[in-house]
């Protein structure tokens, strides 16, 4: 058993790069992409594997991947039964990756494989844990570039990571990074933040060439910006309170309970004082402040209970995501 583990570790260490490529209806671009990657890897004498994650494509993408594998044995593939999204594809790709450096890129040929050797060098020689691409000059309409600038500015401010392009699909990671984080929901935009929270703080950036789309159409619409901000709030909350929701809900609930309860007691005490001294008084239930205080007290109790239940659920639930994989190469 020991010899088997040593053998497996040795074989994985010989693999320089794992390329994780999510695919959704990109049948036209895949042959050109694979040929381009193979040429670049051969020129730089890098051992590699290509992990295509077919995210429930309804075109011939999986058939193309299967055909390409007969000519390029470095190709591996995972096919989802339905469309789960980019984060799910990266999650499964990261789980299967074996290279010492893991690179991600889109399958639409807008990311250039020529950038991969330099990303690999920055990880291996300059000691970065993660290097993110920066599409300084983008070949996208203003409807995508302008909202993206606002989103990236907000993400920089919230995360404290000075990256210009959080959403760039072209990134490189040290293997330990992708094995230590969990990408779920739509969190692929915030992998640098997740890596930082996991203790990997050497995060770099490289200006990369962004090419105009050659085949097909973009799979992302304007709604991704709304999702992006919602995901930013989610990842900020989860990294700070995901393991201890009682700190947030319990703290806020306790504060509201004390304010509401204290106000209610004050109103009752005020009435008793005026009644004892025969002063003009107003019924407690005739005052709007009483109902506001009671509402705050009730909400405070509910928030406290939400935090308590969150703790119970979090301590008894599995942390692993499960996706229905249709086929695997």
Give residue 143's pLDDT.
58
Beta carbons within 8 Å of 162's beta carbon, 6+ residues apart: 156, 205
Can you read off the two tokens belonging to residue 162? 């000075």
Inform me whether the pLDDT recorded for 103 exceeds 80.
yes
Beta carbons within 8 Å of 101's beta carbon, 6+ residues apart: 16, 17, 18, 119, 120, 123, 124, 172, 173, 174, 175
Distances (CA, A) of 103 to 68, 139, 173, 263: 20, 22, 6, 57
Inform me whether the pLDDT recorded for 309 exceeds 80.
yes
Radius of gyration (C-alpha) of the chain in whole angstroms: 26
Are 176 and 201 in contact, with CB atoms under 8 Å apart?
Answer: no
Higher pLDDT, 148 or 182: 182
> What does the pLDDT average to over 74-95?
93
- Give the separation between CA 24 and CA 107, rounded to whole angstroms: 8
Give residue 212's pLDDT.
74
Pick the closest to residue 233 from 197, 279, 187, 269 (CA basis): 187
Higher pLDDT, 140 or 307: 307
- Report which DSSP code applies to 213: P
Specify the pairing of strand 75-80 against strand 101-104: unpaired
Can you read off the two tokens belonging to residue 133? 């691409």
Residue 38, sorted as left (phi over 0), alpha (psi -120 to 50) or beta, turns out to be alpha
Pick the closest to residue 190 from 155, 227, 214 (CA basis): 155
Least confident window among 34-43, 242-251, 265-274: 242-251
Give residue 5's pLDDT.
39
Are 112 and 211 in contact, with CB atoms under 8 Å apart?
Answer: yes
**H helical segments located in 44-141:** 61-71, 86-96, 116-124
Full-model pTM: 0.71
Give residue 325's pLDDT.
66
- Give the separation between CA 255 and CA 207, rounded to whole angstroms: 47
Q: DSSP string of 256-292?
A: HHHHHHHHHHHHHHHHHHHHHTT-----GGG-HHHHH
Give residue 313's pLDDT.
77
Inform me whether the pLDDT recorded for 105 exceeds 90.
yes
Measured in residues, the chain has a length of: 329
Residue 273, sorted as left (phi over 0), alpha (psi -120 to 50) or beta, turns out to be alpha
Q: How far, in whole angstroms, is CA 15 from its chain's centroid? A: 26
Inform me whether the pLDDT recorded for 170 exceeds 90.
yes
Q: How far apart are the first and last CA of the chain?
A: 25
Residue with tokens 């989610």: 234
- Give the separation between CA 11 and CA 18, rounded to whole angstroms: 13
Inform me whether the pLDDT recorded for 213 exceeds 60.
yes
Residue with tokens 């992409």: 33
Are 134 and 164 in contact, with CB atoms under 8 Å apart?
Answer: yes
Dihedral sign, Cα of residue 270, residue 273, residue 279, residue 284? positive
Inform me whether the pLDDT recorded for 138 exceeds 90.
no
């Amino acid at each position: 058993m020991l010899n088997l583990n040593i053998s497996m570790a040795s074989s994985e260490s010989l693999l320089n790069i794992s390329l994780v490529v999510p695919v959704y209806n990109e049948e036209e671009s895949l042959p050109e992409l694979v040929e381009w990657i193979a040429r670049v890897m051969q020129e730089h004498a890098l051992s590699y594997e290509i992990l295509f994650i077919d995210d429930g494509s309804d075109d011939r993408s999986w058939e193309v991947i299967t055909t390409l594998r007969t000519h390029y044995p470095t190709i591996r593939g995972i096919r989802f039964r339905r469309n789960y999204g980019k984060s799910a594809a990266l999650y499964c790709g990261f789980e299967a990756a074996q290279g010492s450096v893991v690179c991600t890129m889109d399958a639409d040929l807008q990311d250039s494989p020529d950038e991969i050797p330099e990303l690999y060098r920055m990880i291996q020689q300059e000691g970065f844990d993660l290097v993110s691409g920066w599409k300084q000059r983008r070949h996208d309409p203003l409807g995508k570039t302008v909202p993206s600038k606002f989103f990236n500015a907000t993400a920089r401010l919230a995360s404290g990571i000075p990256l210009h392009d959080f959403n760039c699909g072209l990134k490189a990671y040290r293997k330990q990074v992708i094995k230590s984080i969990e990408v779920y929901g739509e969190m692929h935009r915030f992998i640098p933040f997740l890596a930082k929270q996991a203790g990997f703080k050497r995060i770099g950036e490289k200006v990369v060439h962004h090419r105009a789309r050659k085949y097909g159409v973009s799979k992302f619409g304007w709604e991704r910006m709304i999702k992006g901000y919602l995901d930013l709030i989610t990842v900020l909350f989860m990294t700070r309170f995901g393991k201890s929701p009682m700190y947030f809900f319990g703290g806020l609930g306790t504060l509201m309970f004390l304010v509401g309860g204290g106000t209610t007691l004050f109103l009752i005490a005020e009435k008793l004082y005026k009644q004892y001294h025969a002063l003009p008084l107003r019924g407690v239930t005739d005052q709007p402040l009483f109902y506001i205080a009671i509402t705050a007290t009730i909400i405070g109790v509910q928030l406290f209970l939400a935090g308590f239940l969150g703790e119970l659920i979090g301590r008894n639930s599995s942390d692993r995501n499960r996706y229905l994989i249709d086929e695997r190469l």
